Chain A
C-alpha cells in the first residue's frame, strides 16, 4: 500500500509541476500539430493517398513529440539534483520506474487526445466504427513507447548530449512497437479484416510486455553511477 501511495505521490508531483510550467505538454503539442499541419499541406484532404499515409503521419507525430517530452521530463529531475532527493527516500527503484512511466503516458495521451481530432478534421478521416479499437492501439503503442522511453531517458539524462542521445538509443529499440502500432492503425483505417488487425496488435502486446518487464528489472541498474 505504501508503494502504491509513493507511486501516486510521484505522479501527482509531476502533474503539478507540469501544470505550473507547461513546458513538456506545450512543446510536445506544438511539435505534433506542426507535423500534422505540414503533411496536410502536402496531401489533398480525403484523398486515397492521405488515407494510406495517415497512420504513419499519426505515429510520426506521436513518437517525435514523445521524444521531446521524455527528454524534458528527466532533464527536469536532474536540475538541482531532484532525482537524488527522490532516490534518498525509502522507495524501491522499480516503483519509481512505474511512477515515471505513468506520468509519461499521461503527457503523451494528452497530446494524442488533442492531435487526433485535429488530424481527423484536417485529413477528413472516417473513424466510424473503428474508434474504440484505434484508441486501444494508441494506448498500447503509447504504453510500449513510454515504457522503453522512460528507461532510455533516465540513461540519457546522465549524458552531456541528452537531446541527441535519447532518439539514438530509443528509436532503434522501439522499431517493433512503432511497426506494430502503425500497421495496426493502417489496417484499422483501411477497414481490413479483424484477424489481420489482431495479428499486428498481438505483436504490439507481446513487445509491450517484454519491454515493460525488461525495463522494470533494469531500472535499478541504470540509476547507478
Chain B
C-alpha cells in the first residue's frame, strides 16, 4: 500500500531524512517513532505530497508521489496537530468545503454520518472557533476521512489533548482502522505506539534505525535504542 524508496530530504545544510526505505501492507497500523526533529513530520509531509524529496520517491496505493500527486491525495487522509479547520466556519460548513474539494458523492448524507460518528451532530451549526481542542481534533478526523481514503497519515494527532479527548479520538481511529484501512502514525509516545500498532519504525536523525513488528519489541528496548543512538 505504501512503498518508500530511498527517500532523502535536505533543507540547506540540514539533512532531515537520509535514505529512508520501508513498505507498509494494506490494513497495517504502523507507527513512526522518534524524538523531536528526527524527521517524522518531514516524511509524513513528503508522503502527503506537501513537500518534494531531495532524492528517492514513494508509491501510495499504486501512485507515485512525484508523478501523480493528485491521485495520491485522493487515496490519503491526513491529520496532524493542526486541524486545518476554519474557525469562522461551522462544523458542517468546514466538512462541506472539504467534501466539495474532494467531489464527494451524496455529500450531505456523508456529512450527517461523520458528524454522528464523531459525536458533533448537535454542534454542527456552531463555529469551529467555539470548539474545544478535543472537539476540533474529532472534527479534523471527520475532515480527513470525508472522501473515504484507503490510507490515513497521522502526524501527532493527539498533541495537546486531555485524557478523555485522547481516548475518544483513539476509539474513533480504531473504528476507522477496523474497516481495513492502512495507517501511518507519527508520535514520540512509546507506550501508545507499542499498545496500538502492528509495527514500529524507529527513526533517528533522519535514518531508520529499527523496523520491527510490535510483538517482537519491548518498551525498554525501544527506549534503549533511542538512548543509544542519542549518545
**A9 with B101: CB separation less than 8 A:** yes
Which chain B residue has the least Cβ–Cβ distance from A19? Answer: B88
Interfacial residues, chain B to chain A (CB-CB below 8 A): 11, 48-52, 70-71, 73-74, 76, 78, 80, 82-89, 93, 97-98, 100-103, 143
Give the residue among A2, A13, A20, A92 with the most B Cβ atoms within 10 A: A13
Known: A17-B88, A88-B84, A90-B70. 7 other contacts (CB 8 A): A6-B103, A80-B86, A84-B80, A85-B85, A85-B143, A88-B76, A91-B70
Flag if A80 contacts B85 (CB, 8 Å).
Answer: yes
Q: Give the A-B contact count at a CB cut-off of 8 A.
A: 68
Q: Which B residue's beta carbon lies closest to that of A81?
A: B82
- Chain B's nearest CB lies how many Å from the CB of A220? 10
- What are 30 A-B contacts defined by CB distance under 8 Å? A2-B103, A5-B103, A6-B103, A10-B101, A13-B86, A13-B97, A16-B89, A80-B82, A80-B84, A80-B87, A81-B80, A81-B82, A81-B84, A82-B86, A84-B82, A85-B84, A85-B85, A87-B49, A88-B48, A88-B49, A88-B78, A88-B84, A89-B73, A89-B101, A90-B71, A90-B74, A90-B101, A91-B70, A92-B70, A225-B51
- A84 x B101 contact (CB < 8 A): no
Determine chain A's interface SS by DSSP, over half rule.
helix
Name the A residues within 8 Å of B11 (CB-CB).
225
**Chain A residues within 8 Å of B48, by CB:** 88
B-chain residues with CB within 8 Å of residue A87 when the two chains form the complex: 49-50
Q: How far is the CA of A83 from the CA of B39 in the complex (A)?
A: 22
- A86 located at the interface, meaning its Cβ lies under 8 Å from any Cβ of chain B in the complex: yes
Give the shortest distance, in Å, between A74 (CB) and chain B (any CB).
Answer: 14
Is A161 an interface residue when CB atoms closer than 8 A count as contact? no
